[in-house]
Structure 1
Amino acid sequence: MPRGENLRVAICSVGSELVMGHVADSNAAWLARRVAETDGSVSAMLVVGDDRDRLVEALRWLAERCDVLVVGGGLGPTFDDLTRDAVADFAGVGLERHDELVVHLERVYERLGRTMPVEALRQADVPATAEVHTPRGTAAGFSLDAACGGDVVRVHVLPGVPWEYRELAERVVLPEVVRLSGGSVRITRTLRVTGLGESGVGEALRPVVDRVSEARNRPEAPEHWVELGLLANEDEVLVRLSVTGPDPETARNRAEPLLREAAELLGEAVTSVDDRRLEEEVGQLIVSSDVSVATVETFTGGRLAATLSSVSSASAHLRGGYVVRTPAMRRDILGDAGRMSPEAGAAGRQTAEALSRAVQRRAGADFAIAVVGVGDDCEPTRHLPAGTATSGVARPDGSVHVEERILPAADREMRRAQGVAFALGSLRGQLAAWRSQASAGS
């Protein structure tokens, strides 16, 4: 088995429920991310149904393309749990019953106050040459070496229950991958960006992109150890810096200057760093500022309020929300302010400002955020093309901050998601500015 930075890891997930799309394969995605942090590389991923022959065929195909093979799922007690049998076939060995696993199963069922069915003992059967790992549930994982085409492949077999899978991967698989890949680690830092498309983000980051590219053939340069990538989602662009180092601290130190530079180049378009989502960033600002918020939205259909209320710490600060779908309801909310110019209509700066003021007053909130737009069910006007979104943030001092943006998505659902991200970004900016002004005045 080769060692060093070219260590290849393959992942096989077993279960007909995965193949049929009834359950998402979250285990493989999680493990792939963790393998990337070890500086190993995932060479292939397969999902296979509960069929013994097909699983053996899949294991042989994967073994030709990897040094370490991780198999997850199919270790339960029922007739369709066939992974242990297929792995034994693949390795050319039989199954052996382990007395310590029988005792473990008996104790589990005793604690549950249940009689152990005979079928449960299948979970005590393991391929003859395998090393058994202490189970956290009822199914034990195991590891073995298997010959394949003149090479030896290291095979790790894990239970499919996510918490069992991940615990055993952390305890057994990942430390071995780190050791075999040369002991280096890789960390990923992420900037979340809204308001700019993928090409706009790339253009803004041109100085960083050029420097990383130039350093590819210069190992002495700090940027040599950095990979830069962009991932466009429906409502944001992720900027990912993957950095390799001999240890986590060195990798973090290599990442930090580039992360700061990228954040400065992107400015206010950066909504959060790493795993914190935009709504969590806004929620933290709401809580730390101890302010109340209300919402009013037209084409986003209540998603803005739902997104804010999903942040548990901030939900108590949310006074309420309005979803406006008709001119009559808009006039009812606006009251006397509803006598706007005919050109204002359902969208535009005047409407966003008036709605945010009206809802702020009705809800008795410190801040109110309105997001209106020209959606698929609203005809474009002479002044506002399709896809135009406008936000209005009413502040405690009586002012309203208004922003306007063209949302690039053609799909209705994606445009709604972009509208929510746009509104949250506007609210975030005003909350941050309010806190800054309060700090300066104290």
Structure 2
Amino acid sequence: MVRVDSRHVRQPADIFILATHQPSVGVPITYTRNGDDWQILDGQLDSLPIATRYTELPEELEVPVYQGNLIGLPGEFLGTVGYRLDNGVLVFNGLQPIHLMVANGVGLEVATATELDTTARFLSWVNQGERVGNPFNVSPDHSVGLGTTIVVDPEHVGQQADILMVAIRSNEGRHESYQREAQQWGSWDEQVVKLTNASISNVTLEPIMRDIPIFAGLLNELPGEYEVYIGYRLNNGVIIYNGREPIRLGVPLADSLIYNKPYYNQYVMDGDCVKKPIFVANGLGIDAEGQMVQDEQTCFSGAVRKREGTSPDSGMYTDNDTIEASAKVTVNPQHQGQACELYIVAVYQTFLSQTRYMRVGNDWQVWNEELGSLQSAQSFSKLPSQIEVDIYEGPLSGLAGEWTVFVGYSRQGDDTILFNGIEPIELSVTRRDR
């Protein structure tokens, strides 16, 4: 229901509807309704499709947003409904968007093999150093961590339960199943009734069971594709688990060069023939005319971590979180020792707008995207071999939206800015009701 501003009653207007889907696994996508059809939003306000047209706005109007099932779309939805007057003014529910959570858990009554509905949600992650996500390929030569946070079905809060963990590995057409018993993983005969307790038994279920560790270590001797399931078993035999969104990861052979991030996709041999990863240049340059050039010897990496706690970061952030964002620049050897300016730019995207900021010293200011007006965050009289960049440390309150952060530098006498244009730091912040 929309109660129209009295100043706008009887004016012509377009009704628009947006829905941003933040899946439990992956990046958010914003959709817009074009008539009765949904399509991905291109981010351009002047081409924002309309759901319907009113020649005269009434005092109140009912806007049907969606009718149907959300099977296959677990995660969080934020809905925006509003109207656009012919003079370009937008009025929408920005302070209180429609908020909908779609569960990704599945219930199983073991005795009868009956599937049950549940509102439980599983927020899982795979962590390898600064690389966080789910799913992705991992480096077999580096330790990997897996974990999950469980949003428990309200009907089960306060009950006693055992935490169960299962992994299925596929490699060259063969399948092997494992279960976690206490702190060790062992083979499993795929008999659900024979599942033993995992690392946590007879625990009292809280509304949110945070950062439950599943695995930490090397997988170099067990290449293949993995599906990992975690859940809790109630005393009545019902199991609630992440059946709609298991944790998925791939582990290549140790001599394979197939990884999904460039920091691990090239190797050198040392004297005893042990393969070791080397950094791969991922710097991009932009000159004064706006032309892009590739830099073959500069490498950028970034990290975002929640300040509180010591557990691996899940990569999911809300505007209740406090974070530390940083970057590391491995400088082109030919540039070391030269004077330079360091730049930090953040692009902030919400449902209906995009704003660019630059850091000037320790202050953030709006930037007009003109290279000539870009100011530096820090000056160096001599470039070191590596630069540790503190980008932001503080709360995310009031910062819900999509953030893309660029870090770069330019040398004295050279207008070209080298920056992390190939792999910027990306951060998604969702709004949480307090």
When the two structures are superposed, what TM-score results if normalisation uses the length of structure 1?
Answer: 0.26
Higher fraction of helix = 1
**Greater share of strand residues, 1 or 2?**
2
Larger radius of gyration: 1
